[in-house]
Structure 1
């Protein structure tokens, strides 16, 4: 873009610069010749008689004539003129062409695909930060300000997930609105992280003031003592309700042991670093152990909770069948024949399961609830209680799975889970189960880059999969602690 000072100049004026420089050149040469060459009068006689012994042309003492300097002077004048002409042309070119210093060229706006990628990354990062910070709060009393920062970050994250879900559903429909929605997702996620970053220093002060190592070791010992009992509970539940009833938590006890093995190594490391006076190494070891112990607690708690939910569903199924028949009787006049027929078939199948041996009580209760809802009932009484139980179970299972596998779970599963927490029980159950399905798919697709024997024996693979370590290096990378994107890896 040409400068405004030159944009208004008439182009024909600049077009004659070469002619003007030529005139200057010729004038300079003529002036040099006139100054150097001797000038004679046009009259026939000299005005002053010249002695006969004196030469007509003056001579210098060194024998050089003044005419010897004509050509050098002409060359100097020509060189000066040509140099001036070149300078003028360079100035014209520098003023007429666009340069980075004169005009700032903004980068092109990101494409919709790039914006979607940024939004997904922002959701995953913010969710990881909120989950990690919430886990870390369980080890320290950081005060109301730190807890408030985690709550505020969670609120921002929920809003970001809500915008994303509407975007996925095609709302808004116009391109400009959709771009703004994606920008809003990124902005909300960034604000969630900023809240946690701002509270990181206060958390660190509270953590330093307590006895973090003693707290982590105490919880480690408590969970290590529970693993045998939880494994027995899982075996009993599988025998009583069938293998399908406990399929969602199969392997959880082994994963919990894996996290505890990792915690053992990091706690031992922390003690060695404390003895050697390495404060940073001590903090890294304890914080990594805290994260692993917290996830071991989630895994073992998930098994125990599912067993309790299966027992509760077993007690509720008979009453739910009775309540379902009563509700169907009340809607038979208004409901369609096909829906009533489907509901009757489902209820008959569940009644048969009650006397046919082990069965998945949660799944049976879910089918009864859905059959009644499909016929237009189920808004109160035992059916509503059954819907709440199955929804709570699905939400807990999905949240546990995402939390202990967050190193591999993507944005779609997390967004569905966030929506499930906001939904009414029937929708919450469906959304949470779908979120759990997508999260499992993500984990299978992710694989395990730390699949070596040493990584397995040390628990490193599970720690990276669970997001305790960032997984950026061969040794698992930095430990993740309380904070947002700018501070969560501050321990190195």
Structure 2
């Protein structure tokens, strides 16, 4: 029972923190979208089809379109009042990080480092929430959860631990930890449904 109470309390803190970060993340993503639109405009009219570091106009346009779709969807969800702040922050951070990577070549190093730190902070919050939720779920249902889910959770914990030092190159590990944790929870929930049904039968 104490484990569940702690999980509920932690989740409440995570939701509040994510809700507080989300407006800034949306504003950052929309600033990147405006910058991407300007870059694409500059690249039109006969200029080369690639930015520095070989980022093509098509790639930048595709990433911008995805970021625009995600930010629009999240803003609508917020306005309707039906949304998970942690999941919304994760979606915005992922789309914005992808767009930001394409824009990195045309920015100054100081500005890029600041943005990279912001991406990492948002991603860490989402990953910690996903790992924490999966960890609690597996602990509560451990007798029913098979090895694949536990293995993915262990790997997610390892990746998150590696990335928690805040190094600027930690973003891929954080995103991998997030994905592994969500995959682990999905597998664990599947195990519980299957084995729970078998046990009940």
How do residues 63-462 of structure 1 correspond to structure 2 at under 5 angstroms? 296-329=1-34, 333=39, 334=55, 335-377=59-101, 380-423=116-159, 424-447=173-196
2:47 match: none
The 1-side partners of 2:154 and 2:199 are apart by 29
Q: Residue 302 of structure 1 contacts residue 400 of structure 1 at CA under 8 Å; is this kept in 2?
A: yes
1:145-177 residue CA offsets vs partner (Å, 9 max, x unmatched) = xxxxxxxxxxxxxxxxxxxxxxxxxxxxxxxxx
How do residues 10-89 of structure 1 correspond to structure 2 at under 5 angstroms? none
User: Post-superposition shift, 1:406?
Assistant: 0.9
Gaps of 5+ in 2: 40-54, 102-111, 160-172
1:415-448 residue CA offsets vs partner (Å, 9 max, x unmatched) = 1111112222111111100000001111111126
The 3 A distance-change label for structure 1 pair 411 and 344 is same
- Of the two structures, which has the highest relative contact order with CA contacts closer than 8 Å and spacing of 6 or more? 2
The 1-side partners of 2:157 and 2:36 are apart by 30
2:165 match: none
CA RMSD after TM alignment = 2.4
2:169 match: none
Bigger proportion of residues as helix: 2
SS at match of 2:191: helix
1:285-337 residue CA offsets vs partner (Å, 9 max, x unmatched) = xxxxxxxxxxx211121111111111111111001111223344556644521
The 1-side partners of 2:74 and 2:35 are apart by 21
The 2-side partners of 1:359 and 1:390 are apart by 14
1:95-114 residue CA offsets vs partner (Å, 9 max, x unmatched) = xxxxxxxxxxxxxxxxxxxx
User: Post-superposition shift, 1:357?
Assistant: 2.1
SS at match of 1:375: helix
The 2-side partners of 1:380 and 1:440 are apart by 34
Gaps of 5+ in 1: 1-295, 452-492
Q: Residue 346 of structure 1 contacts residue 371 of structure 1 at CA under 8 Å; is this kept in 2?
A: yes
1:317-362 residue CA offsets vs partner (Å, 9 max, x unmatched) = 0011112233445566445211211111111222222222232111
Q: Residue 323 of structure 1 contacts residue 381 of structure 1 at CA under 8 Å; is this kept in 2?
A: no
TM-score normalized by the length of structure 1: 0.30
Q: Which has the larger radius of gyration?
A: 1
The 3 A distance-change label for structure 1 pair 376 and 422 is farther
